[in-house]
Structures are given as C-alpha cells and as structure tokens.
Amino acid sequence: MVNEQAPRPHLGPLPAEGEILDPATNQAALCRKVHPFQASKSYLCPGCGNDIPVGMGHYVVVPHFDPGWRRHWHETCLRRAFERGPKSSNHSKGRRRRDTAKARGRRTQEPT
C-alpha cells in the first residue's frame, strides 16, 4: 500500500510589492523583494525564527513609523503571515533567547 499524503494547499501569490500592512506590527509598511544576487548578509526571519542565509531571495518589510525596524522574511513565512491576518501584538516573533546555565542558576537560587 502506498502512503499518500494530502496535497499541500497553494498559498498563492504574495501581495504586490509596495504598501502593505506589516503582519508583525499591524502598521503601514513598504515591502520589496530581495533577489538572491542582492542577498549579501544573513538575517533572522520573524515568521519562523530561522536564518535566511546569504544568497537566498526573500522579502524585506520596512515599517513607516521606524525604518530602522525593518524585518527580512522568507517568502513562505510572509505568505503564511498574510493568510493568518494581522497579529494582536506589536512585536515580531523572532527567535527566543535560550537560558544559559548561569541564568537558570540565578533564577532558581533564593536570596540569602
């Protein structure tokens, strides 16, 4: 018997580049495609928390309220974020910090 998986739904095209509602902040933003030959640095995707390596095409979303707070997204992560709709918070997911042994020790010790 062949193990068949259900076909994955097609996420469809991304909204046109230009003015969008940033899925991470719910604010107006500018979206543009970064082609693989333009991607000279690695970035952290706020949608999945994984790295976008050098040479991988992706999208950059620049909020109007603070251009320094721009975020680089994998194409599929940005599509999924648009399908889910705007988040209720004003913070992107990003990668969570892992506690080091030293930090765990500080948290568990009681003051003497």
Asked if residue 9 belongs to a domain, the reply is: no
Among candidate residues 30, 70, 28, 66, the one with its CA nearest the CA of residue 46: 70
Asked if residue 33 belongs to a domain, the reply is: yes
Q: Looking at the DSSP assignment, which residues form a beta bridge with residue 43?
A: 52
Among candidate residues 33, 31, 20, the one with its CA nearest the CA of residue 86: 20
Asked if residue 6 belongs to a domain, the reply is: no
- Domain count within the chain: 1
Q: Checking DSSP bridges between strand 28-34 and strand 58-63, what pairing results, if any?
A: antiparallel
Average pLDDT over residues 86-93: 51
Report the pLDDT value the prediction gives residue 57, as an integer from 0 to 100: 92
Report the pLDDT value the prediction gives residue 83, as an integer from 0 to 100: 81
For residue 76, what are the domain limits? 18-86
Interval 32-73: pLDDT, tens: 999 999 999 999 999 999 999 999 999 999 998 888 889 999
Asked if residue 72 belongs to a domain, the reply is: yes
Spatial separation of the C-alpha atoms in residues 72 and 38, rounded to whole Å: 13
Say whether pLDDT at 92 is over 70. Answer: no
Strand order in the sheet with 58-63: 18-21, 28-34, 58-63, 71-73
Average pLDDT over residues 75-101: 65
Say whether pLDDT at 23 is over 90. Answer: no
